[in-house]
Structure formats: C-alpha cells, structure tokens
Structure 1
Amino acid sequence: MNRVGYYRLPPVRGVFFSPVQEERLLLLGCQEVFSDRCLTNAIIRPGLDKALAALAPGGTLAVLSLHALAGTTTDLLEAVLKLKARGLHLVVAQPAIDTNADPGFFATCEILTAFNAERAMVKAAEAALVSKGGGAQGLKAGAPPSQSEGGD
C-alpha cells in the first residue's frame, strides 16, 4: 500500500473512533487508516504496528501531528528514524512535513539523535570529573573575584 494513516484516540470512555481524524487522513490520500487509544506510557500500539505492516518500502505513513508517534522528543526521534530505516516516508499535517518532497526532516532527526547521545556522554564525563574533585573549582558559586580588578 502506498499511503496509510495513523492516529491516536484520546483516553475518553466510550470513544472508539474519530471520524474527524479519519476523514482528515483520508483527505491526505490515505488508502487505509489505523488507530490506537492514547494511554499513559503506551508502548504497545497495535494500530501503529498494523499501519507499518501495511506499507511496503517507499510507502508513506501519514499522521495529523507528531504526537501520534510519541510522547517525548527522544521517543519521537527513535520512531522517525525507524521509519527511515525501513525505507518509509512520513507526512505530518501539522506542522507540515513531507519526507517524500524533502528528506531533510530525517537528516535533522539524525543530527538531534546524535546530539542527544553526545550530551549524555558529556554529562557523564562532567559528573565523573566533579566526583573526582577536579574541574569544579571555577564552577562553584561565590568564587572570589579576580584580584586584577582595581578599585579606589
């Protein structure tokens, strides 16, 4: 299948379908639409799994917002890069993203993922340096002012 849609339902009792979201995804050119219920810390998303299984390499997953894919930036980056690794494209209605027309979004996600990994390494190195008693002297609050500053 060329383009499938995916959305998440709000955690409201009795709501099992969103005709508005489904219609918007169909207007984006989706041949089929899948959904899941939004749950706190939902890691298992059978609707998303079905949507991805329906796509052949080169196919496109369409979502209305990035929130459909993840609840945190780190999880979003992971989800987007999994799409790229499978040879899939992503279309987002808001903000407007279409990796068919401009694959730069994937490149940006790769850069942000690398930055996040590097930042974790830097934080670990800083913590190790401080715990060994080195490197923290200039960072302590209330360090005495430089003696080169003259006054009358």
Structure 2
Amino acid sequence: MRTNLNGILTLLLAFVVHLSFAQDKAISGTVTDFEGLPLPGVNIVVEGTTNGTQTDFDGNYAIRASEGQALLFSYIGQRDVRIVVGASNTIDVQMEEDAQALEEVVVTAQGIEREERSLGYAVSTVDEGAIESRPEADIGRVLQGKVAGVN
C-alpha cells in the first residue's frame, strides 16, 4: 500500500512540475504597416526579459512567451505596440505610422543628419565666382584644386 501511495504521489508531483514548465508557448504571427504591407525587421521583445526576435522579409515572426506576458513590437517610424499574450497562439499586428518620429531623423545618401544639424560626412563650399571664372565643360576640372579630395 505504501509503495502504491509513493508511486501515485511521485506521478502527481511530476505532473505538477511538468505543468509549471509547460507555461511557455510558441506564438507566431505577421506584422504589417497601416496599408497591410509586411514589415521586415520589426523588433519583438517579451517585456521584462531578454527574450526577443525580429520579423523576416515577409513580416512573419515566432517567439516563446507565457500567458499574461506582454509582447512589445517596435520599428523605426512606427508607434510601439504592446500586446498581452492570451490563449491564442497567433498574434497578427498592424502598426501605425508615427509622424513625430519621422521628423526627428533625416537619412541622406552618405550619412545621418539629426535635429542638431550635425553631419556624418564632410562638406565643402565653392563660391559661384570661382566656377564662373573657369571655362571648363567638366565640373570635376572646375572643382580640382578648389575642393579637397577632387582629382
């Protein structure tokens, strides 16, 4: 009788331990913009942890989280979205444009210019008079000797 009771208690304990570790579940979905186009490279983080992932080229993602935990979706130029994990294993997110965030950073061909107007590359200025005084067809020859690095 005692061995049967020990066996039943051991199985019950193993079942409870299994349930406590099985709370994480796989969550997947698609992230789109306000027009319904997939967004690649969206960051998804389980709030309060270091567990995170990014969407692929088609806007798809997969992450593990428990019910009640929150997923934080963030992307440049879009408002952050916070969604609490429920019973569903699929969470599709449509992000909204954040016009205020778009005004803060201007991306150029060679660098990034921020509101402080600091540049990430060198700029040279040549006066109009210096160009008019040299009758050349090639702009490179006109700038040669006037701007550093032009050969």
Larger relative helix fraction: 1
The TM-score with structure 2 as length reference comes to 0.22
Higher strand share: 2
TM-score (norm 1): 0.22
Rg comparison, structure with higher value: 2
Q: Which has the higher contact order (CA 8 A, sep 6+)?
A: 1
